Amino acid sequence: VTEDDTTQPLGFKEVPAHYAGERETVDKMRDACAGDYEFAVACDMMALKYRDRSGRKTQGDAGKELWWAQMAAHVRGQGEDPRAYRGPSHAPYERPRRDSLVLDSGFLRDVEAWGHGDSADLEAGIIEAARQSTAGSFRGWERDSRLLKYLYTNKHSTPFEFAGLTIEVKAPIFVFRQWHRHRTQSYNEVSARYVEIPSDFYIPTVYRLMADGGANKQAQGTGAKLDEVAASAFQRKILCRYEELDADYKAAIQDGVPKELARLMMGVGQYSQMRATANLRNWLGFLTLRHDPHAQWEIRQYAIALHGVLSARFPQTMALWDGGTP
């Protein structure tokens, strides 16, 4: 089977022969991208390329378009890996940790982390800050893991303020409204006074709409049971309302209404984007509240993504956090 075999709807059945012994382009693309968000968009662009040239260049472009579209969906967590049928020889796609796609159109991206102090190790500055009291410095993790644990367990928290992280987040406005209650982070958000609001709204899935809040009182409905039909009717209603609002917003801007006033009609499901920065101590405080099942499911998805980024950057501290807040 070759990659031009049109009988295979997904394009490449086996590793294409011209890649023999080499990494495939898709893997090189994944490495070149900062994370899921960029990689999914790159896959979209490949699908676009094959759609545009389909029937005009080589046989099998329609299959390739489908293959890249499926890879894009897979990276977004919405379908099977198009290479899965290759069997055990196929190394599955692993999500990189630098950024994550969250909800239907949001993301959380690691911009910058600090905390290495005088050492190359990102968490060493925490130890160095603690050792100021004895005029000492970082001695390597074989010895200093114990000190880190001691600091964490005994709530000697200020050394954890010598490390930190800046992230970029795209989330619905109602998530930002909860997020901005955390006063120890610094924020800068895109301004709808300067920038036209994009047509980007959060649409919860039918199953999210039907989810039972369990013991979480804030997540509970009236007790009436929402079935799949009613949930999808409500979902369609949200979508129609968003589309209507979006058309009215764009028309108002065309008519000369200033952006700062045209936005008044937009709802809290509208996506927005911000940068947030905080020291590690405060990120842990945020996680404690927003990674918890009592937090609303949507902000919790961002807390889970943040947990991934923090674990990649600060593995020793996050292992302590995972072991339980002292």
Ligand X SMILES: Cc1cc2nc3c(=O)[nH]c(=O)nc-3n(C[C@H](O)[C@H](O)[C@H](O)COP(=O)(O)OP(=O)(O)OC[C@H]3O[C@@H](n4cnc5c(N)ncnc54)[C@H](O)[C@@H]3O)c2cc1C
* Residues annotated as catalytic (active site), given as ranges: 290
Complex with ligand X: residue 243 or 292, whichever CB lies closer: 292
Whole-angstrom Cα distance, residue 8 to residue 64? Answer: 10
Which residue is listed with tokens 């927003």?
Answer: 290
Query: Smaller CB distance to ligand X: residue 97 or 182?
Result: 182
Nearer to ligand X, 98 or 290 (CB): 290
Minimum separation from the CB atom of position 294 to ligand X (A):
4
How many CB atoms are closer than 10 A to CB 165?
22
Residue 4 structure tokens: 């031009």
Write out the residues near ligand X by the rule CB under 6 A.
181-184, 285, 289, 294-295
- Tally Cβ neighbours within 10 Å of residue 118: 9
Going by the DSSP 8-state scheme, the letter that residue 7 receives in this structure is T
Residue among 295 and 310 whose Cβ is closer to ligand X: 295
DSSP character for 270?
B
Which string of DSSP letters, residue by residue, matches 197-263? PPS-B----HHHHH---TT-GGG--SSPPP-HHHHHHHHHHHHHHHHHHHHHHHHHHHTT--HHHHG
How far apart are CB 155 and ligand X at their closest, in Å? 12
Q: Which of 163, 183, 180 is nearest to 115 (CA)?
A: 163
User: Minimum distance between the CB of residue 132 and ligand X, rounded to whole angstroms?
Assistant: 23
The radius of gyration of the chain's CA atoms, rounded to the nearest angstrom, is 24
Q: Name the minimum Å distance from CB 56 to ligand X.
A: 55
CA angle 258, 264, 267 (to 5 degrees): 135
Stated as kind and residue range, the H or E segment containing 302 is: helix 297-313
Q: How far is the CB of 91 from ligand X (least distance, A)?
A: 39
**C-beta of 10 vs 289, nearer to ligand X:** 289
